[in-house]
Structure formats: structure tokens, C-alpha cells
């Protein structure tokens, strides 16, 4: 019996998938693939080709051991890497210990944290899936509980992770000494020395990303974490040149950091932004001053990032205003991605937020509202969503060898031809 083909150069023996998992078969094999939906057309960014446009959004797992990835992450990310996603972005990973959201968050502040991540990256690469990581600092929303821990605590509404619970409530930092809410820690205002410390830590984390083998980095500048806190007038009331008016002051530190990251990283660099605070009232008041963060400031911000050389904007919303009022519904954040895409047609934009159906996802791309679809909860419910989407849209894609039996209808030429 001839030997099975194996992935060349992999740490272990894995059956080779030809073509790569999640790749549309050529028209010569499956004629229905002559006109591929955009969802399954490849996308090239900074010389790197992504096999399709279904990308795994960063999903906090609250399962790290002092910042170190565990086998939970290998199983979670590995499962997604073998089910057809065009790319995976690993969860918010803090560049300093006190920048974690919770005591169980991921980190990349020391060299020992490289190896567990490298194992995950190598597994993804062995299955021809590009993988990146979201570098983050939680700012004033640090030292809080994982959601399921908070819901089961039974001691009131506080989100604070105390020192007894592994937290650091007296070492939480933000652009201003303003709590996110009464149930969150009291932050301290960062001075210039602390800003420099965080900036330098981010650059060291980038160096570790290179050693781990990541294909891209996403900067977390959304959801009310540190960089979002800096840009919003609701959370940044500093009186130095890193706060207040004009808008350029509030953007100064985030853009300074992103500029250094761009210089340090020659692979694709993405930034996730929140395009609005969803606070009550207008973005700008009648007095001409900005009242909250919104799409007009976001457009200016993104324009500055494009000048720096950012390769993609991952457009989300909210997270910085405890009283936010969000009209949640299918694709509720897509209009903001569309606004950014209209403003910067040559800059790739990702859309996220209650995108659950294949035709919905492909329609967003077809209508020019975004270039990429980021999914999270849909993939939690069904990790095979990319292959399911292909079958629903009438496309034949490659499932993993081990899972082909589950997709026999999609791959059976007789069944396909009988449907014509």
C-alpha cells in the first residue's frame, strides 16, 4: 500500500490536504465554481494571499495560565484551522501583565510565552491556515472577571478581580482617572514615562510574534480598551498634548504607537476600531466640540492610519460607555464598515457583528460594504461554518480529509450534476 501523503516539514505526521482546507476547487473539477461568490475568492494583502474571506475574529477564552496559552487554545484554534477559515486572529493578548482584561487572559510580555503560541501557529500552518494575533492593553477595564466567573460570584454586581482572586485592582491604568463604571476598578492616569513603558512593551511583543511565526498582527484599539479610551472624549480628559481638543491630541498616542508597530513589523498589520461609543446625543455639539467618539472622528483616524501603512481596518463598535444604547440586530455594525470603505476604497475593511448567514455575508462583500467577514459566535456554534456556507452558496470547497464524509453531497459530482 503506498504511503499517504503527509504535510512536509510538520512537527508531526498530518495527512496533506490538496487543495488547502477551505479552498474552492477549480472549475475544471467542479463546474459550478466558475463564478465564485466573493466569500470564497482569495484576497492578497501585502503580498500574503488569504484563501477565502471568512476570518475568525479574536475570541477571549479566559483560559490562559499566567498569560500562557494552554492545550485549550490548541484545541480551540486547531479546530478552527482544520475547518476552512481563511484566517484566524487569536484572542486579545496583553503586552504587559497589568494590561490583561482578567487574570485568565492571554499575554505576550515574556519570552516563555512564545513556545505555546508557536505550537499553535505551527499546527495552523500545517493545515495551510494563516494565523495572526491581537495585541492589546485593557486600560481602565483591566483586572476584571471573566464573564462566567462574574455571573457565578454571588457577591453583588462588582466586576473587579481582587488581589485574592488574582487581580491587580490597585495597578490599573488609563488615559484619565475615570472609572468605566462604579463596578470597575479605579484607574490611575498614565504619565509620559508610563506611556513609553507600554509602547516599548508593545514593540517587544511584536518581536515575540515574529519568533512565534504569526502571519499578521491586529492592534486592539476598540471595545473601550486602552487605545479606544485615548481617542474618546468620554474617557480622555487630559490637559496635555495627549488629550482634550483638538482631535489630534487624543489620537497622538495611538498613532505614535501604531507608527512604531508598522516600522517594527513588515507583515500585514491590522487595527480593530470601535467606530462609535453609542452614547446619547450627537458626536459633535453645537459649540463645535466633540462630545463622544463616532464615525466622523473614526474616518479621520483611519485616514491617518492609512498614511502610516496599516493594511486593514477591522470595524467594530462600542464598549467604552457603560450606558451605551446599541440597536442590536443582524449586521448592525456593517453600516460603519461601509462608511469607512466609502471613505477609503483602496483600504481593506473587515465587517463584524451578528453576521450569521452565508448569503448575508456574501451580500455584504458583493455590495462593496467590506472586503472580509469576521465571525465569532457563528463559529462557536458551528466551527464548520465555512464549509456549510460553501454548500449553501453552491460552491465546492475542500474539507479536511478527515471530515470529507460529512460533506459527501457537496463533493458528489453525480448529486451536483443532477441538480442542474
284 burial level (CB within 10 Å; 0-12, 13-18, 19+): middle
How many C-beta atoms lie closer than 10 Å to residue 236's C-beta? 23
User: In the prediction, which pLDDT does 4 show?
Assistant: 79
Q: How far is CA 93 from CA 60, 131, 211, 282, 394, in A?
A: 9, 14, 15, 33, 37
Residue 271 clears pLDDT 60, i.e. is over it:
yes
Q: For the segment 4-21, what is each residue's pLDDT rounded down to a tens digit?
A: 799 999 999 999 999 999
For 222-307, where are the E strands, in sequence order?
A: 269-274
- 326 vs 328: CA distance, rounded Å: 6
Nearest Cα to Cα of residue 256 among 230, 275, 238, 223:
230
Bigger pLDDT: 413 vs 359: 359
Residue 1 clears pLDDT 60, i.e. is over it:
no
CATH of domain 44-385: 3.20.20.70
Q: For the segment 215-242, what is each residue's pLDDT rounded down to a tens digit?
A: 999 999 999 999 999 999 999 999 999 9
Q: For the segment 65-121, what is each residue's pLDDT rounded down to a tens digit?
A: 999 999 999 999 999 999 999 999 999 999 999 999 999 999 999 999 999 999 999
Helix (H, G, I), strand (E, B) or coil at 91: strand
Residue with cell 482569495: 42
- 292 vs 300: CA distance, rounded Å: 14
Yes or no: say if 198 and 96 are a contact pair by the CB < 8 Å rule: yes
Residue 415 clears pLDDT 90, i.e. is over it:
no
Yes or no: say if 310 and 319 are a contact pair by the CB < 8 Å rule: no
User: In the prediction, which pLDDT does 413 show?
Assistant: 60
Rounded (5°) CA angle 113-118-119: 110
Yes or no: say if 351 and 374 are a contact pair by the CB < 8 Å rule: yes
The torsion region of residue 252 among left (phi > 0), alpha (psi -120 to 50) and beta comes to alpha
User: In the prediction, which pLDDT does 5 show?
Assistant: 93
Residue with cell 475574529: 57
Q: How confident is the model at residue 3 (pLDDT cuts 50, 70, 90)?
A: low
Enumerate residues 6+ apart whose C-beta is below 8 A from 160.
143, 144, 145, 167, 169, 183, 184, 185
Residue 149 clears pLDDT 90, i.e. is over it:
no
Tell me what the mean pLDDT of segment 249-268 comes to.
98
Yes or no: say if 143 and 171 are a contact pair by the CB < 8 Å rule: yes
Tell me what the mean pLDDT of segment 251-256 comes to.
98
In DSSP terms, which residues pair with 49 in a beta bridge? 44
Mean pLDDT of the chain: 95
Residue 161 clears pLDDT 90, i.e. is over it:
yes
Nearest Cα to Cα of residue 269 among 132, 377, 177, 390:
132
Give the H or E element holding residue 114: helix 114-126
- 240 vs 355: CA distance, rounded Å: 41
Residue with cell 477591522: 314
pTM for this predicted structure: 0.95
Pairing of strands 130-136, 87-94: parallel
- 218 vs 73: CA distance, rounded Å: 18
Cell representation of residue 279? 452614547
User: In the prediction, which pLDDT does 2 show?
Assistant: 46
Residue 418 clears pLDDT 90, i.e. is over it:
no
What percentage of the chain exceeds 70 in pLDDT?
Answer: 96
Nearest Cα to Cα of residue 231 among 286, 177, 178, 298:
298
Tell me what the mean pLDDT of segment 384-390 comes to.
97
Cell representation of residue 68? 500562557
Q: For the segment 182-218, what is each residue's pLDDT rounded down to a tens digit?
A: 999 999 999 999 999 999 999 999 999 999 999 999 9
Residue 206, φ and ψ in degrees, nearest 5: -60, -40
Residue 37 clears pLDDT 60, i.e. is over it:
yes
Residue 416 clears pLDDT 80, i.e. is over it:
no
Amino acid at each position: 500500500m503506498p504511503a499517504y501523503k503527509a504535510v512536509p516539514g510538520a512537527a508531526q505526521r498530518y495527512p496533506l490536504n490538496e487543495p488547502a482546507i477551505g479552498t474552492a476547487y477549480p472549475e475544471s473539477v467542479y463546474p459550478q465554481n466558475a463564478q465564485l461568490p466573493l466569500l470564497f475568492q482569495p484576497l492578497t494583502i501585502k503580498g500574503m494571499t488569504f484563501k477565502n474571506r471568512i476570518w475568525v475574529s479574536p475570541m477571549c477564552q479566559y483560559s490562559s495560565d499566567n498569560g500562557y496559552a494552554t492545550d485549550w487554545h490548541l484545541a480551540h484554534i486547531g479546530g478552527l484551522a482544520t475547518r476552512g477559515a481563511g484566517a484566524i486572529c487569536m484572542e486579545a493578548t496583553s503586552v504587559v501583565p497589568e494590561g490583561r482584561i482578567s487574570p485568565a487572559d492571554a499575554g505576550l510580555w515574556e519570552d516563555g510565552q512564545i513556545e505555546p503560541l508557536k505550537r499553535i501557529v505551527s499546527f495552523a500552518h500545517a493545515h495551510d491556515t494563516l494565523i495572526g494575533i491581537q495585541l492589546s492593553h485593557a486600560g481602565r477595564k483591566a483586572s476584571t472577571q471573566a464573564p462566567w466567573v462574574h455571573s457565578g460570584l454571588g457577591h453583588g454586581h462588582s466586576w473587579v478581580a481582587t488581589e485574592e482572586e488574582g487581580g491587580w485592582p490597585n495597578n490599573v491604568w488609563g488615559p484619565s482617572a475615570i472609572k468605566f463604571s462604579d463596578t470597575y476598578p479605579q484607574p490611575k492616569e498614565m504619565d509620559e514615562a508610563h506611556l513609553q513603558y507600554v509602547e516599548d512593551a508593545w514593540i517587544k511583543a511584536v518581536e515575540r510574534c515574529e519568533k512565534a511565526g504569526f502571519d499578521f498582527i491586529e492592534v486592539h484599539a476598540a471595545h473601550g480598551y486602552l487605545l479606544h479610551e485615548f481617542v474618546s472624549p468620554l474617557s480622555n480628559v487630559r490637559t496635555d498634548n495627549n488629550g482634550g481638543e483638538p482631535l489630534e491630541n487624543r489620537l497622538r498616542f495611538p498613532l505614535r504607537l501604531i507608527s512604531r508597530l508598522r516600522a517594527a513589523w513588515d507583515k500585514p498589520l491590522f487595527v480593530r476600531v470601535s467606530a462609535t461609543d453609542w452614547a446619547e446625543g450627537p458626536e459633535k455639539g453645537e459649540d463645535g466640540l466633540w462630545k463622544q467618539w463616532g464615525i466622523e472622528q473614526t474616518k479621520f483616524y483611519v485616514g491617518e492610519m492609512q498614511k502610516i501603512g496599516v493594511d486593514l481596518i477591522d470595524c467594530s463598535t462600542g464598549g467604552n460607555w457603560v450606558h451605551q444604547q446599541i440597536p442590536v440586530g443582524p449586521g448592525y455594525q456593517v453600516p460603519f464598515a461601509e462608511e469607512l470603505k466609502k471613505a477609503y476604497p483602496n483600504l481593506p475593511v473587515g465587517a463584524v457583528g451578528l453576521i450569521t448567514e452565508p448569503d448575508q455575508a456574501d451580500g455584504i462583500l458583493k455590495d462593496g460594504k467590506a472586503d472580509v467577514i469576521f465571525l465569532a459566535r457563528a463559529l462557536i456554534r458551528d466551527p464548520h461554518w465555512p464549509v456549510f456556507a460553501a454548500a449553501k452558496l453552491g460552491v465546492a470547497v475542500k474539507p479536511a480529509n478527515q471530515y470529507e464524509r460529512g460533506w459527501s453531497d457537496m463533493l458528489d459530482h453525480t448529486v451536483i450534476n443532477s441538480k442542474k
